[in-house]
Structure 1
Amino acid sequence: KGLAFLNYGNPAQAAEAFEQAVKIDASQPYVLNNRGKAYLELRRFKESLEDFNKAIAILPSVPEFHINKGRALASLGSFDESLDSFNEARRQAPSDASALKYMGMALLKLNRLPESLGSFDEAIKLGLNDKDVHIGRAKACEAMGKKEEAVRSYSTALDQDVTDKNAWYRLGQLYLELERYTEADNCFDRALDIDGTNPAIWMSKGLTLEKQEMLDDAIGAYDRAIALNSNDKEAWKRKGSALLMLIRPEQALRAFEHSLSIDPYFEEAIEGRKRAEEDIRRTKIEDYCRSILDFEYTHGRPVTKEEAFRVCGVPYVFLGEVMDYLSGREAVSLSAMSKEDFEKFERISREILVNTMEKRDLANYGLRLCDISVNFPELRIASAKRVLSYIQAVEENDFSAKVTDPHIDPLLRQAMDLSNDQKNVLGLIRNLGIGVYQARQLVMILQTFQGAGFETPSIRIGSIVNEGYGEYVPYDESAAQTRPQGRQEGRASHGREDEVAEEQERPRRQTTRRAPRRDEEHEERPSPKKPKSRKVDEEESEEDVQSDLVGRRCLFHGGVAVTRCKKCKAVLCRECIRNSDRCPRCNALLSGEEDVAEKKPRHKPRQQIEELEEEIDEEEPDVEEESEEDPPLRKKAKKKEDKGPDFFRL
């Protein structure tokens, strides 16, 4: 009967039943143990300890008796003695996990946290999946700073018993410390569903809502806590702080005064009351400033002191302070500004300038504080002054065209696509959706594109090109490398005398037209045509230069093209023609006249030359078609007497 009452949670009736059994037979150790357990539930710790000692004296080999004795000692605050009882129980039953559970709790009370955590872990390994074990382990982890492990242990305990409001409350506190406010709010709601009369839970819920900037809901939670306990000074103080953040200083002042009525020396409430009084005065000053700015915006001129007093209704006691506040400038440092503040000022400045530029000529009249306060009434005067100071700081800042920000290139390309009348600060702000700082930076960079281009370095090399022992003839490597195989075979079939003569003629054939001899002119030249006058040629040349050479540059010096060679059509600059009258590419005369060699090289016999030309004509038809402007490879030459060695061969 006593065990039934004890199992159903009725320890008082269970104790009466066990007392009747003890009266019948006081030597029954299990009856004494059960009565001690009932006394333990009734918090009659000394009586329970006496029963456990009697049971152990009769039958000392039962581990449960030692465990219950340890529980009674721990309840009386004798944690060290309780550990001896738990160790004895473990010695008798090493696989009994209940002794480890209570040992871990005693070690937790003694602040022996690592040993306590080890006891709970060992009990779990032995298969004890008890809610109290996981809660004890969570408390040990929480005390050791292992908050994530504590969260997991509390969650495991709540999976076994979802009606434990204390576990929900402790789990919510952990989430609050981990700044996981949504989970914390859910835990506090679960705890309040179980017990909504606990003011501590309402306080924690209010703090969680305040962290989420849900200030109105937070004030409601604080009001519920105050309704359950009106003498809670912390609840009144927190409510006042939330009201200050909502810019309701009058109500906040009353809340702080309630807190100080409970504890006049509560420092946090004293500081809160000072802030509330300052905010009340600042709010009055801002209201007076707004009325003055409305007058200035309406009449288009600053207000006088008399008008501020008579028309705007500013009390005389506030008149000087209001005027000083309006004329003062807020200090804004661009270099010391955080990234978040910079982005906020850029966004607000853009909205203000875009809205104001349509109503006021900002270029001629500038931006006034009243323009901001009237067009943006939700913005406080203090914030409007800071924005105005930010725009002025950007105006006075010295920008550099050297920018390392990689995000500037896309904006710069978009700015270049705009029309010229929009490539100013206001135009960029309106079209690109950027702030005043970025707009000024882009304008500075755009100004660098207005200058002329740049020229690559060039030097004069007249002495290198023109001065030498013999005549300079550029060598065309590409033509030499693509010489047909037939010409090589033909050159090999002739003797050394033919090879020497061909080597003397090769540069002339590739680059210049050889002047015919006088005796060849009558044989090969057709009937002469009447040449054009030189004046006509010069006029035609000037027209070609003006149409073809615009924007062209010389390949030799990189200079601006002024003419071209009439033979090879090479583009030439002033440096090319400064010290020479010949083309640096083909060595032809720039005047267009025939180039008559001063010394005539030796030639092969006429019959051999004619045979060689027939072979070249058969094997190189494509070479003549590629360049219509090139002269014939070779003209027929008469046999001429040897005039000695040709020094041009050197």
Structure 2
Amino acid sequence: MSKLDRHSSHPDVNVGDIYFNNNYIDAIKYYELAIQKDKNNLEALMGKGLALRELGKYLESIVSFQSYLGACREEYQKIDGYLEKGYTYICLGAFSDANECFDRCLDIDKKSPEALNAKGLVLYSMDAFRPAIQFYDKALGGRKDANFAFILTNRGNAWYELDMYDEALESYTRALTLNKNETGALIGKGVFYKKWGKYEEASKLYKAALDIDPNFVALNCMQNGISLHTKSKFDEAIKIYNKILALNSEYVISPQYISLVHINKGLALYSTGCYNEAIKCFNKALMTDSTYSILALIGSGAAQGKLKNMASAIECYNKAMDIDPNMEFTAVNEIIYMSGDESSFFSIYDEVLLSSILIDAKIKANCVINQLVDPDLEDIALNGYHKKVVSQEQLNEIKKCVSEVGIAGEEYINSYLQSLCENGKIKQFEWVSKNNAISPYDFYIININNERINVDVKSTNGEFDRLFHISYGELKTIVLGPERYDIYRVYELNNANAKLRIATDIRSFASGILEILKGLPEGVVADGVSVDTSLLKFEQEIMIQK
């Protein structure tokens, strides 16, 4: 748990700061009380942003930091806001956005050591270690202040990643000369000694770091376990997690981080096929702290699914989606740990494994229980590029899920057209795709003017404005066929009803797209396009039922 060390004269902010070091949710309540009294209370806006970030609510956190920046009267006050906003973007892996924030700091103070160090952190996160060192050197600028010892630690870490061990050791030693309690340097130097077989010296440094900041050490060890996990060294990873849990009986480690350790141990057990043991770990995580409960629920649901306990799996996914409907928290790459003037970043799970588990969760939660189909799944089903690792089995299941939504949408339109026919608003219609699955349209209608209109149904359980796909064959039919061609957008589809908006006669739009596709090199043919609903003129919304 990060600590907030400041002294406010505002009573609500002061109480919020006290709670910050124990309970982020209550801290936010007091910060909001202060903001209600003064919407430009900088301390409250900053505190709220920091607390939201600790709870994993990164996007809300960024909004709070932006409000802080808007309330600043002096340019120098903005540096802290841009720094914290940038740090939050690093957690999300949005490095260009983070860099932009740090550049804004440097516009205000071109020699800001915090901003220069932060730019180094971005480069380090991108594995650009030598350029990172250059920024760390600029940040140090010959400073010998104990408050900047952590920058030397960062430089040492970069040298270590480059296998420049002597340079790394020199940086760690200099950091400890400036500040003997620089925990990162103690650990870095300990890792160096352990690598060269100096186990006694390494153990002393590790013990010293634990005495100073057990939370930092726990997160550092957990990150080592995650690194082993990514290399499929699951048993070794579990040993590290068990070691951290054992330390908790001797040292005070935040429940927030102990919960994460249980989650990662559960993920390691899941990877070895020990699903019952994994579920126990996820349950322990849930009982320990709620901050990362969505990760524990997703992991538990995946393990229950492997055990064929589908009702329990769906219950877990339901709870996870209740907490975070868009599962935004799973986009987090790292968490930030604040200690004094130092901000450190730590991985919190194996991204590849969680990505795979998350795809399973979305399939179960969206397909089995017929909730909103996630846009990620629709994108994958339509062969869109996606930064996910998806197995063939998962891909087949996703396509089946989205196909079922498409069929359900056509059933709704069949009922809708039947009612139009019975009320004399159209003369006749036919559900063409029911008998010919490769037809370039789903229905045709004969209206009261004896005009034939081809209809393609584009369905989603989600919102109206999700992208939909038009195949190359459909484009050719729209442009070259003699009949008018309409798009029926069915959305927010469920078992009871759905919504419909119609785009009539899209020939002109399709013709423009087809002309662009003709510009592709000879021998290259696009299989279709994904279309934003805003590009077509849709009529008013209609509620439809089966």
TM-score over 0.5 (shorter chain)? no
TM-score range normalised by the length of the shorter chain: 0.3 to 0.5
TM-score of the two chains, using structure 2 as the length reference: 0.33
Q: Give the TM-score, by structure 1 length.
A: 0.28
Structure number with larger C-alpha Rg? 1
Higher strand share: 2
Per chain length, whose mean CA-contact separation is higher, i.e. which structure has more relative contact order (CA < 8 Å, sep 6+)? 2
